[in-house]
Structure 1
């Protein structure tokens, strides 16, 4: 049987290590020329498949593909574009199969989070209904760390390392000036419904009184009075107070503290500014001078501070995705299975996409302290190995030396398709 081509796409918010997954996947595919012909990447994610805008990765050198391992962002472009239901928008799925047929694609690898796993699951369903043989494998990626059936998600460990480092360093700054100047520092981090990134900030606090003093999770309804009392207590006891807050912080009624009123392409409420809201509340009620910061894209693009564990797992999952596909495992996602905490040991596994699509894994109750303002020792045990190790990128002229691929398009064979 002639080798089939593969389609790979990156989806959703990118990370410091998603290209490490692409690196592993493409490298492994090149080791099996008898089974996989070329790897085509979708330009800007699944949109590249719908518009037949495919990138021929075979035109990139082995050396440049290897450099993806230490390059942040999405090398082929990503997107926030969720395919609708099979029943209502069958034409989109039929278009994907048409493109796959036209380019002899027999493998579909989708590298993303919850919504992306839903897309991979739906593609596997429509392919089966249309009688077109394509093996669909999901590859996890999300800084939110909220995919089920995997110990952790590539991208999270590096964000965790970045935010823990940032709030520790900012804490030293605030402590230096607290007697005569700023007494409050608030860091807003990502996390719509799950507080894993906020929890990671807690790793910076090794002993009582060390920053961050307060963590605000989306899993814990925000109580302004309890919060302000705790802030005041910290300032009186330590001279200052540092706070890490998830963008998805909500009140007891479930209303987001900072919701702009707009929606993103996935239909999620656009968030931002909760750090300023919380900081201003402290100023208004307690009178303390504050500074606040929004980690935003910095936290997920910081390849210079990436976790070695994260890099290695991201790469290994890319390799595993190819091997799962070659074993004929369809409609599954490659996963990380934890074998031990100390020393941290893990292996690759897999889980059905049907059990992962659109399912969010939130912080475990036993990971949040009894007062709701910090992490427990159990949480620290879980998080610690995920941020460990360093594998810095090469530097040139004092700055990280990253790669931009040629990304040459494959000639189109079909008529244009509007999305």
Structure 2
């Protein structure tokens, strides 16, 4: 088998464990130098390929690559940049093939969510048509946990752990002050269309009265009067109320409560601030003193409290992606297959990219409490294993010590490409 180089890119919102997948892939590639030459990483994701800004990872020591496993965010830079359909913008896809051919790249590994898997699928198709076959392997990543087929998505388990821990700790704080101060605390978490992250907060509640008392999910349109009545009942019963709300909660008319009136690079509505909207509704209805918090980037970057299960799976999927490529597989994505809940066991599976791309998996009805404001035991059984175990990064001077790669760039061989 002739030696070919590989291209790896990180896409979309980063996570606490996306670099663990990069670590797994690059370490596995270094074990097969007879087949995989240089692993290039796109500077700022797929934009790096379009602009021919390729980071030569061979300049990074084995120790630096190993340190990626415990380093959050995107070590090579990520981006929200959606390549349109082949017919709409064929020039961009052709540019990718041109860059791959110029740098003898025969393997394309795209680490991202549904849009990214769609891009990898299209590149595999176009490579064949242009006479330059390219092996395209997706690596799953999304804190939203909304990719189909795979049992869970790397990045989600650590966010779930952070949100559950934060809910429990904040709940204790509010409870201790509720007699004379705050009665209601609202925590806003990510989740545009799928409520997996908000649902994970329910793990903090292990007995009656434990927070969160109410979980508001994108899958359930907000019944404002029923919600406000539930808040009042919680305050009267427990002295306080903790609410966890997904950013994508909608009203009965299907409108986002926190629509900011603009869209991101993928065409998604920009959301944010639903916690304040919910808190103000409570204040207006009941007069309770409130506090709210928006977890925002903190939830997805909190490597210091990452789930060991999540780290292990992210790393394993990076290695599995390389293995699939060497086996001659194309247009596929390694997945997590759950084989047992108790004890929790999992193995690596595989899915075709065409079956993954642009499909959102939402929280199933059987995971949502009948009143729509909490989770069921079935949901708890699914979620609980995903937050298990601690995998602390090394600390120095009281702070976690993360790696920053120097980013040696490969020499450009092509003319500049105009970005639209």
When normalised by structure 2's length, the TM-score is 0.99
The answer to whether residue 62 in structure 2 is matched with residue 58 in structure 1 is: no
**Native 8 Å contact 2:124 2:133 kept in 1:** no
* In structure 2, distance between residues paired with 1:343 and 1:293: 35
* In structure 2, distance between residues paired with 1:226 and 1:416: 58
Aligned to 1:298: 298
Equivalences for 1:15-54 in 2 at 5 Å? 15-54=15-54
In structure 2, list runs of 5 or more residues that go unmatched. Answer: none
CA apart distance, 1:2: 2.6
Aligned-residue RMSD, C-alpha: 0.5
* In structure 1, distance between residues paired with 2:399 and 2:406: 21
Aligned to 2:318: 318
Aligned to 2:336: 336
Aligned to 1:220: 220
Aligned to 2:376: 376
Aligned to 2:157: 157
* 1:312-334 deviation line (CA, Å, top 9, x unaligned): 00000000000000001100011
| SS of the residue 2:262 aligns to | strand
The answer to whether residue 195 in structure 2 is matched with residue 195 in structure 1 is: yes
Equivalences for 1:135-146 in 2 at 5 Å? 135-146=135-146
**Native 8 Å contact 2:143 2:156 kept in 1:** yes
CA apart distance, 1:133: 1.5
The answer to whether residue 367 in structure 2 is matched with residue 364 in structure 1 is: no
* In structure 2, distance between residues paired with 1:211 and 1:50: 48
**Native 8 Å contact 2:198 2:217 kept in 1:** yes
Equivalences for 1:30-109 in 2 at 5 Å? 30-109=30-109
| SS of the residue 1:162 aligns to | helix
Aligned to 2:309: 309
CA apart distance, 1:244: 0.3
CA apart distance, 1:263: 0.5
* In structure 1, distance between residues paired with 2:242 and 2:127: 51
* 1:76-102 deviation line (CA, Å, top 9, x unaligned): 000000001100100000000000000
| SS of the residue 1:193 aligns to | coil
> What is the number of equivalent residue pairs in this alignment?
419
Aligned to 1:175: 175
* In structure 2, distance between residues paired with 1:61 and 1:70: 15
| SS of the residue 2:229 aligns to | helix
* In structure 1, distance between residues paired with 2:351 and 2:135: 15
Aligned to 1:285: 285
* 1:91-134 deviation line (CA, Å, top 9, x unaligned): 00000000000000000000000111111111111112112121
When normalised by structure 1's length, the TM-score is 1.00
Equivalences for 1:238-249 in 2 at 5 Å? 238-249=238-249
* In structure 1, distance between residues paired with 2:418 and 2:31: 36
CA apart distance, 1:251: 1.2
| SS of the residue 2:78 aligns to | coil
* 1:209-243 deviation line (CA, Å, top 9, x unaligned): 10000000000001110100000000000000000
* In structure 2, distance between residues paired with 1:414 and 1:157: 41
* In structure 2, distance between residues paired with 1:126 and 1:191: 33
CA apart distance, 1:367: 0.2
**Native 8 Å contact 2:110 2:117 kept in 1:** yes
* In structure 2, distance between residues paired with 1:96 and 1:414: 11
* 1:370-397 deviation line (CA, Å, top 9, x unaligned): 0001000000000000000001000000
* In structure 2, distance between residues paired with 1:342 and 1:37: 42
Aligned to 2:13: 13
Aligned to 1:235: 235
Aligned to 1:408: 408
* In structure 1, distance between residues paired with 2:342 and 2:418: 52
* In structure 1, distance between residues paired with 2:123 and 2:272: 33
Aligned to 1:254: 254
**Native 8 Å contact 2:40 2:54 kept in 1:** yes
| SS of the residue 1:41 aligns to | strand
In structure 1, list runs of 5 or more residues that go unmatched. Answer: none
| SS of the residue 1:231 aligns to | helix
* In structure 2, distance between residues paired with 1:319 and 1:88: 34
| SS of the residue 2:160 aligns to | helix
* 1:285-328 deviation line (CA, Å, top 9, x unaligned): 11000000000000000000000000000000000000000001
* In structure 1, distance between residues paired with 2:85 and 2:287: 51
